[in-house]
A and B are shown apart, each in its own frame.
Chain A
Amino acid sequence: MTSATSGTRYPWLREVEAWRSDELAARLTFLTLLFSPIGDWYITPIVMLLSGAGLIMRDLWRSPWLWTALALLTGIRAFVDWPLADNHAYLLAYWCVAFAVATWMPQRESLAGNARLLIGFTFAFAAWQKWTASDYPNDVFFLTTFLVDDRFEDLAVLFGGLTYEQIEMAREYLEGDYRSGAPTSAFPFEMPLAFSLLARLSTVWNLIEQTLVAIAFLAPTTSFVGRLRDPLLLVFCLTIYAVAPVPSFGWLLIAMGVAQAVKTPAIRLWYLAAFGLLAIYYEVPWTTLLVEAFGLG
């Protein structure tokens, strides 16, 4: 399907194609701030009002004052929450600074460059922390996290062949008070092969995918691997956020991805579809529904 024919048959598609990359990135950033409000009572309403205004008013997204205000507010939020703020709180602040810089300065193309480097360095450090952690490459992280973190218990039941009772036993064992010495007993049950494979697959997938995204975004844009950056980021978002319950991080990455993406209708539509899919992933408890449907656990 060519761009011309698709635009004739689907007027909305023509509109998507016509958007400037920075405008679409700005609107997705506003949506992110509205879908996932940030901060305490003295920050949340101001950020929501500014984001709502930026979304509704036609040219407000170009305002350097708007982005400076958002950069200050998101920065204050990260500072106030120190050291408990999630990593994407800082990334959001850097991203708003990138918009502020791009709207104040004459070189508007700096937004794409900053987006590419912010994504590249974020993934580079995320991957490096995983490769160098003592308990990540050997699967210990996922073997324990799938058991201890209740956000993943349905996943462990669905794909790991565990029961909720086993998960409860594992938590008692793993979270015990061992100040006076390690436990004398072994792990309370034999781990199912499916659970071990789930942990291995999760480890390997995250290590490889995040490393590739980092390389692709930090490599020259015209290089072979550099040209793969958009598909790699999309694959990351579509797979990881099906499980990881932090859609606001994913939405932010997608907004940044759009800002620097190759401006083809297909890539742009994939980014928009991913943005929507993350909302569905987060709001629909698909692992719980499948566990119930199959009578597992």
Chain B
Amino acid sequence: MSTGEKVNRRRWWPAAITWLPVVLLLIGVANHLWLVKRHQLSPWLGAGFGMFSTTDVGSTRQVYLTTVLADGSEHWVELDEPYRDTLLRARALPTGDWLARLSEATFQALEDDASVTFPAKPLTLRIEIWRNSYAPETLRPTAERLARGIVPFPDDFGN
């Protein structure tokens, strides 16, 4: 490598590093757009600057956790702290990974709560995430399901 090439290489990288903040912003926005399109990320979140741009904000999404028992009955589950944080993240970005984490948090919450007893063996946990959207002019709400997951209870649950 000639001396001139070495000098050029030295001059090249500071110039590229200079614009690192803008490059990071553009990568963040690209990631946001992909997650919104493919994984139902709330447009408000995830570095895409979509705050205050749509009614699809995390807090207007609803998460329904339902245990299905061996006798066919169903029971709703509500998550409190410290498991609620996982619920909020799964609600905002309902990927398979976050739904799996939410199911683990739910199983843990049920194990930790001694007051919870089921009349029959729990078989599966059904997770559903919904949002309401509104018609122009009338604001008539329509519910739309964003994500759904069915996870079997662990074999050692309750032992």
Taking Cβ atoms with an 8 Å cutoff, the residues of A that contact B are: 78, 82-87, 90-91, 93-95, 97-98, 101, 105-107, 110, 113-114, 117-118, 121-122, 125-126, 129-130, 133-136, 138-141, 143-145, 148, 173-179, 182-183, 186-187, 206, 244
Contacts and interface: CB of A to CB of B under 8 A. Distances in A.
B45 A101 contact: no
B92 interface: yes
Nearest to B43: A129
Given A83-B89, A129-B50, A145-B55, A178 B17 contact: no
A131 to B, nearest CB: 9
B100 interface: no
Interface stretch (B1-9, B134-142, B149-157): B134-142
Contacts of A86: 51
Contacts of A182: 140-143
B49 A129 contact: yes
Contacts of A95: 21
Interface centre among B26, B29, B55 (most CB of A within 10 A): B55
For this complex, into which size category does the number of interface residues on chain B fall?
35 or more
B66 to A, nearest CB: 12
A90 B46 CA distance: 9
Contacts of A97: 20-21, 24
Given A101-B17, A105-B18, A145-B55, 7 more contacts: A82-B46, A85-B45, A94-B28, A121-B26, A173-B141, A175-B60, A187-B139
A83 B60 CA distance: 16
Interface in B46-75: 46-55, 58, 60, 62, 64
A125 B18 contact: no
Nearest to A181: B143
Contacts, number: 151
Majority-rule SS of A interface residues: helix
A83 B87 CA distance: 12
Contact of B21 (A94, A126, A135): A94
B117 interface: no
Majority-rule SS of B interface residues: mixed
A210 B50 CA distance: 12
B51 A126 contact: yes
A144 B55 contact: yes
Interface in B14-31: 14, 17-22, 24-26, 28-29
Contacts of A174: 132, 134, 139, 141
B41 interface: yes
Contacts of B35: 83
Nearest to A174: B141
* Ranked 8 nearest A-B pairs via Cβ: A129-B50, A178-B143, A90-B47, A98-B21, A129-B53, A125-B49, A94-B21, A126-B49
B88 to A, nearest CB: 6
A86 B48 CA distance: 10
A96 to B, nearest CB: 9
B132 A121 contact: no
Contacts of B132: 174-176, 178
Contacts of A244: 52
Given A121-B26, A143-B139, A83 B55 contact: no
Nearest to A75: B24
Given A125-B49, A183-B140, A94 B24 contact: yes
Contacts of A90: 25, 28, 47
Given A125-B29, A133-B54, A101 B141 contact: no
A84 B88 contact: yes
Given A121-B25, A129-B50, A144-B134, A176 B141 contact: yes
B147 interface: no
Contacts of B14: 105-107
B130 interface: yes
Contacts of A175: 60, 132
